[in-house]
Structure 1
Amino acid sequence: MSYFSDLGLAEPLLRALEAKGYNDPTPIQQKSIPALIEGRDLLGLAQTGTGKTAAFSLPSLHRLITNPQPRKSASCRMLVLSPTRELAAQIAENMRGYAKFVNMSIQCIFGGVPAGKQARALVPGCDVLVATPGRLLDLIDQRAFTLRDVEIFVLDEADQMMDLGFINPLKRIARLLPQQRQSLFFSATMPQAIEALGKQFINNPVKVEVAPQSTTAERVEQRAILISQSEKQALLTMTLRAGLAEGAADPIERAIIFTRTKHGADRVVRHLTPAGIEAAAIHGDKSQAQRTAALKGFRENRIKVLVATDIAARGIDVSGVSHVFNFEIPNVAEQYVHRIGRTARAGADGIALSFVAEDERPYIRAIERLTGVKLKILPLPEDFLREAARLPAPAKRTSGEMQDAARRDGGRRDGGRRDGGRSEGGRREGSRSEGGRREGGRSNNDRRLSVHGDRPRDGARSQGQREADRARGERRDAERRNRDGAARPAAAGPRGARPAPVRSQFDPLRENVDAAPRGNGQRRQRQG
């Protein structure tokens, strides 16, 4: 008998756990599952990678299985909100694994893919919906989904939601949820703003805390190298080359490199490729297909190095990440905690190496105050300058990267769609996409999706209006031909007025020729 069977979980869930080889629960699972089975609200304070998904999934699925209800159109019984696409997809995948031996519909929606296809999939209803706030509100605004039947609500990574600017979408979602529900609120940190937000969602909760607030993973060895900004790329390339080589003294199994900006992530990949290091970038400017392919290659160990921005720090759950590189130090100390949390997962050890420029030292001091851990300062390699001079030049930008740059310059990011909150470029993702449109492509006034599958109304002009426009155009063309080349009058008013046409020295000759009498068959005589 395992701990999970002692709790009285439904038999299909126990079979799924046995198939996964889960016998010993994590601390947050031990403290959360009994209270959630009783139907209590919960406030969980735990770092990523501590088993939170199973902690809220197992008791919630147990409740849905033991209290079956028919699915209702365009609604769900359990709603899980996640800040990023990758984390939402990961939660949905894990929940499908737990519910593999029971007939249960688990849907996942996020930005970057057509909203119409997702809306049609939700028409028959589902048992569990995992969503990002922006896309969820888009579908609600388009009347393609409703929250009136939600029995269990889960808000995961609440502090990341706040960092991305989801506060207003979350407040709006809170107003749409029914009052009678079970609410679960998880966060890695608990500042006052998060605590105030939690009071809007949960009522008399059980508080579960499995790690001190804002602490880093104990099994992560935290190192730092002081270096100028211009030399960071050479040091990174040399470190990866040495660690990925066979028989390395400090072998690198998988590595995640964090940058602050999207174009910075692409630039790192362009430098690594000529050095023989296969790497892929993942950030908000990449299409969903590109992000999925990069993560799949990283999970399957075909790609050893993944370059990411902070928005992806919470959504990457890959075992075997031995190293995390802070190529650029985050200016928000809490982000450092989430970055290095990508390593030392599932009981393994990990190394976090930060490249610290002169202007980034205040960020390191803030991180050390927050975590209570002093980073170990390492010296530069002895042969750094000589080896750095031998590194190949960076590769040229690919056509896809140039298209991404063009979209950035034009103010359109990620195809004009976003999955909620504040984007990495500083714009709202939930209320507006980076291209100024909703995630579905058109605004709600231009396009509405019905829960019954009606065709969208795209605001196109009617046939009668098009015919009237065509008739007006034909009349204008006829009037223009009838003027026989007469001079067009100047525009009225001081603005837009055209200067009088300059008369040529040959104009009097042309006027005399036009005024000459002509008879039947008589040819025009040229004057002068």
Structure 2
Amino acid sequence: MAVRRPRSTAPSTATFRQLGVPAPLVEALAGRGVTTPFPIQSATLPDALAGRDVLGRGRTGSGKTYAFALPLLARLSARPAPRRPGRPRALILAPTRELAAQIEASVAPLAAAVSLRTLTVFGGVGPGRQIAGLRSGVDVLIACPGRLEDHIESGHASLDAVEITVLDEADHMADLGFLPAVRRLLDQTPRRGQRLLFSATLDAGVDVLVRRYLTDPVTHSVDSSPAPTTVPHHMLHVAHRDRLAVLVDLAAAPGRTLVFARTKRRTKTLTRQLVEAGVPAIELHGNLAQAARSRNLTAFAAGSATTLVATDIAARGIHIDDVTLVVHADPPAEYKAYLHRSGRTARAGATGTVVTLMTDDQVDGVRQLARQAGIAPTTTRLRPGHPLLDEIAPGPRTLVDPPPATRAEPTPPARRGGARRATAPTKAKSRGHGHAPASGATRGDRGNAVSQPSGAAAFSAGSRVGATRRSGGRSR
């Protein structure tokens, strides 16, 4: 059984060079505008660079990627070795495709600075390029457990040469049921290798991994709460008929808004409704092909789509800077999901706000969530047009004209002169044309159960995507 060494802390004012990071990596970091270590990096780097097994506890957005990438690259570059087909020298395991891709985006430029090669392996895409990359030799393999096991079983990959293994978001691995696969993979790595495990919590079986696979680990806990404690939390008590109008008002404010829905169907519906109301919104959920998921995340990060509507797939491991507002359009079922969703804002020292929309039948459940999460929200009963909405999401509201394919049918004569639409916001301070979000799916994504909703697809001028959405065999 592993015995955890006492926590140690590094000086918070130390530079990367003072922490022991090699000069080429320090220069590569500076080239990316990274000059000051985050607390989790200052705490873990000295031990990790010294070759110790490390257990790092910190929430997503706390800087964990560089905390494990720098010692990993430093170790490999200090002892250069020829690349061998299918036999990586370092392994980074991640729970989701999005997180694996974002880790690779951070690691690859640093690896190139020390002449190391990276490769990302995950499902949802064809295996051909991954197999070719493995055959050509790779130093650092970033992988999701399922697809990596496939490559190992087919003989395209082996873990017997791995010198250092990283397990990122270990608690999320457990939540998704990946621990049996993770154990099988770790059992194939050399016992003498270094292991770094990062997790926000130690429940859900993570502690078993620590005891079984880490040798005399040093534990560092830095900002381990899944969500920032200084973020304002608002619980807005609204009538069921007013939920969409309030959501549109908030999403039409300046900045990026991340909206969470309970199910994939609800995510698609909310995206369509927001687009129809004039909010450039796109969706993220498990039914989208990987290419569509990547395009939508890119559009949201680039600002061409200002609102991302997502299931809990975006609650963990999605690193997008400057999300100013998180809205729980559907309150989650349990408080951990609430904390992880809320942790998508106010990352890396930025500010943000969290809003939960609750109807009469949800009040008791949301209050219990708040108690379990340890937050003290401001609860307000309101209707569309309430001045608090401007305080929560300040700035002029901007709505774009909905695409022709999503506009409402002409109002019957007997009803003309009424409200523009029941789902429209009650106030819009300004209207204009914004940038079109990226399309969520192309005709090349054949064989997928779901394509981009008609509204979001039509926003993309000249897109090859049609205005038809497939769902359960029916076209809408």
Of residues 165, 173, 179, the one that matches 1:167 is 179
Aligned with residue 391 of structure 1, among 423, 435, 442:
423
Query: Structure 2: how far apart are the matches of 1:268 and 1:4?
Result: 44
- The CA distance in 2 between the partners of 1:103 and 1:380, in whole Å, is 58
Of 287-296 and 352-361, more deviation after overlay is shown by: 352-361
Q: Distance in 2 between matches of 1:381 and 1:369?
A: 25
Residue 332 of structure 1, CA deviation: 2.4
Aligned AA (1:335) = A
Tell me the secondary structure at the aligned position of residue 207 of structure 1. strand
Aligned twin of 2:448: none
Q: Deviations over 1:410-456 (max 9, x none)?
A: xxxxxxxxxxxxxxxxxxxxxxxxxxxxxxxxxxxxxxxxxxxxxxx
Give the deviation of 1:21 after TM superposition: 2.3
> Given the superposition, is the C-alpha separation of residues 368 and 382 from structure 1 closer, same or farther in structure 2, using an over 3 Å criterion?
closer
Q: Which residue of 2 aligns with 1:8?
A: 20
Residue 227 (structure 2) aligns with: 216
Aligned pairs for 1:41-60 (under 5 A) are 41-60=53-72
Q: Is the 8 A contact 1:238 1:388 kept in 2?
A: no
Equivalent residue runs for 1:212-361 within 5 Å: 212=224, 214=225, 216-241=227-252, 243=253, 252-361=254-363
Deviation at 1:169, TM superposition (A): 1.1
What is the distance in 1 between the residues matched to 2:373 and 2:344? 16
State whether residues 454 and 468 of structure 2, in contact with CA within 8 Å, keep that contact through their aligned partners in structure 1.
no
Residue 20 of structure 1 deviates from its aligned partner by 1.8
What corresponds to 1:92 in structure 2? Answer: 104
Q: Helix, strand or coil: the match of 1:345?
A: coil
> What letter matches 2:237 in structure 1?
L
**Which amino acid is 1:288 matched to?**
Q
Contact 2:300 2:306 in 1 (8 A): yes
Equivalent-residue separation in structure 1 for 2:61 and 2:170 (angstroms): 15
> What letter matches 2:469 in structure 1?
M
Match of 2:470 among 377, 399, 403: 403
Once residues 357 and 24 of structure 2 are traced to their aligned partners in structure 1, the CA distance between those partners, rounded to angstroms, is 48
Percentage of identical aligned residues: 37
- Name which of structure 1's ranges 321-330 and 171-180 shifts more when overlaid on structure 2: 171-180
Matches within 5 A, 1:128-527: 128-191=140-203, 193-212=205-224, 214=225, 216-241=227-252, 243=253, 252-381=254-383, 383=385, 390-391=422-423, 402-406=469-473
Q: Are the equivalent residues in 1 in contact too, given 2:255–2:323 (CA < 8 A)?
A: yes
Structure 2 stretches lacking a partner, 5+ long = 1-12, 387-417, 426-452, 458-465
Q: Which amino acid aligns with 1:233?
A: L
Residue 36 of structure 2 is aligned with which of 24, 36, 59? Answer: 24
Q: Read off the aligned partner of 2:175 and give its amino acid letter.
A: D
Change (3 A) 1:367 1:172: same
- Deviation, 1:179, is 1.1
Residue 470 of structure 2 aligns with an amino acid whose one-letter code is Q
Contact 2:242 2:383 in 1 (8 A): no
Q: Which residue of 1 aligns with 2:401?
A: none
1:202 is displaced (CA, Å) by 1.1
Deviation at 1:180, TM superposition (A): 1.2
Residue identity matched to 1:221: P
Q: Which has the larger radius of gyration?
A: 1
Q: Contact 2:257 / 2:323 at 8 angstroms: preserved in 1?
A: yes
- Can you list the C-alpha shifts for 1:109-132, whole angstroms capped at 9, x where unaligned? 111110132112111221101111
For 2:360 and 2:167, locate their aligned partners in 1 and report how far apart those are by CA, in whole Å: 38
Letter in 2 for 1:240: A
Equivalent residues of 2:239, 2:383 under 8 A apart? no
Deviations, residues 93-114 of structure 1 (Å, cap 9, x unaligned): 1001222322111000111110
Instruction: Describe the shift of the 1:388–1:235 C-alpha distance in structure 2 as closer, same or farther (beyond 3 A).
Output: farther
Instruction: Please say if residues 85 and 315 of structure 1, whose CA atoms lie closer than 8 Å, have aligned partners that are also in contact.
Output: no
Aligned residues: 397
CA distance in structure 2 between the aligned counterparts of 1:276 and 1:378, rounded to whole angstroms? 26
CA-to-aligned-CA distance 1:279-330 (integer Å, 9 cap, x gap): 1001111111211111111111111001111122223211111000111111
Task: Work out whether residues 275 and 456 of structure 2, in 8 Å CA contact, stay in contact via their aligned partners in 1.
Answer: no
Secondary structure, aligned partner of 1:104: coil
AA in 2 matched with 1:406: G
2: distance between equivalents of 1:195 and 1:285?
A: 32
Cα distance in 2, alignment partners of residues 210 and 291 from structure 1: 31
- The worse-fitting range, judged by mean Cα deviation, of 46-55 and 92-101 is 92-101
- How many Å apart are 1:400 and its aligned residue? 7.5
Query: CA offset at residue 371 of structure 1?
Result: 2.7
Question: Which runs of 4 or more aligned residues in structure 1 lie more than 4 Å from their structure 2 counterparts after TM superposition?
Answer: 386-390, 392-401
Partner of 1:420: none
Q: Given the two structures, how large is their TM-score scaled by the length of structure 1?
A: 0.71
Matched letter for residue 391 of structure 1:
T
Pick closer, same or farther for the CA change 1:64–1:218 going to 2, 3 Å. Answer: same
Cα distance between partner residues in 1 of 2:468 and 2:29? 42
Change (3 A) 1:38 1:400: farther
Q: How far, CA to CA, are the matches of 2:85 and 2:298 in structure 1?
A: 33
**In structure 2, what is the Cα distance between the partners aligned to 1:18 and 1:397?**
38
1:360 is displaced (CA, Å) by 3.4
1-side partners of 2:472 and 2:219: how far apart?
46
C-alpha RMSD of matched pairs (Å): 2.5
Contact 1:224 1:353 in 2 (8 A): yes
Q: Give the residue type in structure 2 aligned to 1:173.
A: L
**Unaligned residue ranges in structure 1 (runs of 5+):** 244-251, 408-528
Q: 1:64 to 1:262 in 2, by over 3 A?
A: same
TM-score by length of structure 2 reads: 0.78
- Distance, in Å, in 2 between the alignment partners of 1:77 and 1:281 is 37
My pick for the range that moved more, 350-359 or 317-326, is: 350-359
Q: Identify which range, 389-398 or 162-171, moves more after superposition.
A: 389-398
Q: In structure 2, how many angstroms separate the alpha carbons of the residues matched to 1:218 and 1:327?
A: 21
For the residues of structure 2 that align with 1:215 and 1:272, how far apart are their CA atoms?
28
Aligned partners of 1:192, 1:18: CA distance in 2, in Å? 38
